Amino acid sequence: MNILVVADPIESFKIYKDTTFAMMREAQRRGHSISVCEQQDLLWQRGARVTSHVRDITFTGQPDVWFEVTQSRSVALKDFDAVIMRKDPPFDSEYFYATHLLEQAERDGARVFNKPGALRDHPEKLAIMEFPQFIGPTMVTRDEADIKRFHAEHGDIILKPLDGMGGMGIFRVGPDGLNLGSITETLNRHGAQSLMVQKFLPEIVLGDKRVLVIGGKPVPYCLARIPQGSEVRGNLAAGGKGVAQALSARDLEIANALGPVLSRRGLLLVGLDVIGDCLTEINVTSPTCFQEIFDQTGCDVAALFVDALEQALAGG
């Protein structure tokens, strides 16, 4: 099987924890060929199929120089057995345009995972609103009066931008309402931009759990990202400590309910964020935590992913 991975520059990978690296290594271990490109390498010319400038790579097994480029070439995406979209957020205009190019590649005959249309249709914070039975009190608005009303009702709230990643731009406002106005103005840009407001979940002290769903089925272990010190954010990028643990009954309930729905929509890999009993985010662009879970539990998440990829391709 020939696989193309669309990702950030692989030279920047921290291979001891990078999920895309783990995916590619497992695929190559099984004998599949790996090529890589960046979002900017995609090309669609009038009357032609979508192509990309790609690099064919092999793994060296060395930590410092971990790959070798065996060939650089321009090739139509339909000529690969699978195209894996693993570009990290933010979901900006260039990412949006890339999904359109990838969708055209699908019309050419390419198989793209996660499906480009599904990536567009599931903004990672907004997507939870489709499943109100699993989320805490949540509102999306750009109106300051609505935010003040929500705070008055719930007392302790979280505000965050819809396009943030890694815990970026997340604020907590307690019952005293200190700085609510200035935080709102910062995030909504004086009414020009929508944001998400949620009731604060004190269970965050136990971790913001990343529950992985592959091929519609939950991975049996999650990674609880536990805030450190006075930090309210559990994100690893914000200094959270990752602790792998078995899924709780509620984690399984959420994953088993959402997994088949999202899988039917073309989302092979999804990362559900759960705090306490509440779903807080649905990650579809480039969910992570494969290696952290494997290192702590021995559960080979990369192998589960490649199993699901092979099964999806075999299913037509």
Q: Among 55, 125, 199, 209, which one carries the catalytic annotation? A: 125
Active site residue 210: yes
Q: Among 49, 233, 235, 292, which one carries the catalytic annotation? A: 233
Q: Among 18, 210, 235, 251, which one carries the catalytic annotation? A: 210
Active site residue 225: yes
Question: Does residue 223 contact residue 209 with C-beta atoms inside 8 Å?
Answer: yes
Q: Among 18, 208, 273, 292, which one carries the catalytic annotation? A: 273
Q: Among 26, 208, 251, 281, which one carries the catalytic annotation? A: 281
Q: Among 18, 55, 283, 292, which one carries the catalytic annotation? A: 283
Active site residue 273: yes
Q: How far is CA 168 from CA 65, 88, 123, 171, in A?
A: 31, 14, 16, 9
Q: Among 87, 160, 199, 209, which one carries the catalytic annotation? A: 160
Q: Among 25, 26, 225, 292, which one carries the catalytic annotation? A: 225
Using left for φ > 0, alpha for ψ between -120 and 50, and beta otherwise, residue 32 falls in beta
* Contacts of 300 by beta carbon, 8 Å cutoff, 6+ apart: 26, 294
Active site residue 49: no
Show which residues are catalytic: 125, 160, 210, 225, 233, 273, 281, 283
